[in-house]
Structure 1
């Protein structure tokens, strides 16, 4: 009997990234909707994620938190979905997934909070400057159709989600390369299913 896969999330969170990834795998999973400041901070959930944040997954006895880690774990655990990288794709796959989890996330968050790295302190910041990050990201989605090469992988779920969210909230510039890339990946059936599920969950919560 296969291990049960439980997904802890909230439709108004980064859990949307993990939802999309789960839908791409096609494997059955159980959803637990968590509340901000409520069930997320309860002892039962803190035993899953001490940060008291979503998303998280429990797969049998294995717990995984952090969106990038969840995407990578699901891609490798369910290889039949074809979301894990081949040997030729592995370098770009991990490079841009970790770039998004590190420099891009930090730069976008700082911009949203109104913080700009002083030019004379850019070397202290892991991402340098916001412009550096935007230029690197543009190159990542322009060199090949997908970030790891010529086919869609789990890295596109993660990178693409950040680009879509960033452009919708104004923390990322709406560059043509970003719009073109997002158009390619957001037409996928799994993306549409995941979005519909979370949009319905938002309505139910309200």
Structure 2
């Protein structure tokens, strides 16, 4: 696939995960800094993402929003990076990507906001309970080094980013299995490069 890659992001956003994915892919890309309260709600950016949120990715004429979708798209658009398993082994890959985008993120957000569904309404929230979500994920990352294949994939990047963020802010329990898993995926060179780029962008934007 061809076309310029543009990441629309803010360093204080989920755009950090999208940048990490871009660094794993290794293709050249440009960064468009989107400011909260100003450019994020202006017509030029709303034409990219009518939700008025970041990140978003433009690849030639293709626009992708939602962080999990960006990660999935990039893995497919750049197969040489080997960030997705072969198609006949993608069941766990899709499962954990969208488990993190759905139940895990919803549970983390609700917990951070101190929103607890009543016992008789738990089936409506899609994840049951935060403890159940963490227990299921703990069992999975304890059973094997990586979630969807014998090697690191975009599923590990997205799940790892969620866990790393949640533990950093004290929302996700620092269970040993999570610490070990984050130790495997969070020390990758691409993650470090992405963090340095976003930290520098945040510092420059604060001046």
Residues 89-131 of structure 1: CA distance to partner in whole angstroms, max 9, x if unpaired? 3011100110000001111100011111222221222101111
2:148 is matched with 148
1:77 is matched with 77
1:92 is matched with 92
Residues 152-191 of structure 1: CA distance to partner in whole angstroms, max 9, x if unpaired? 0011111100000000111211110100000001121101
- The normalised TM-score by structure 2 is 0.96
Aligned 8 A contact 1:96 1:140 in 2: no
Deviation at 1:143, TM superposition (A): 1.9
Structure 1 unmatched runs, 5+: none
1:106 is matched with 106
Q: Cα distance 1:149–1:199, how it changes in 2: closer, same or farther (>3 A)?
A: same
| C-alpha distance in 2 between matches for 1:3 and 1:145 | 35
The DSSP-based 3-state class of the residue aligned with 1:150 is: coil
Structure 2 unmatched runs, 5+: none
1:58 is matched with 58
1:199 is matched with 199
2:136 is matched with 136
- The normalised TM-score by structure 1 is 0.97
Q: Cα distance 1:149–1:139, how it changes in 2: closer, same or farther (>3 A)?
A: farther
The DSSP-based 3-state class of the residue aligned with 2:7 is: strand
2:16 is matched with 16
| C-alpha distance in 2 between matches for 1:162 and 1:116 | 20
Deviation at 1:149, TM superposition (A): 2.6
Deviation at 1:140, TM superposition (A): 2.4
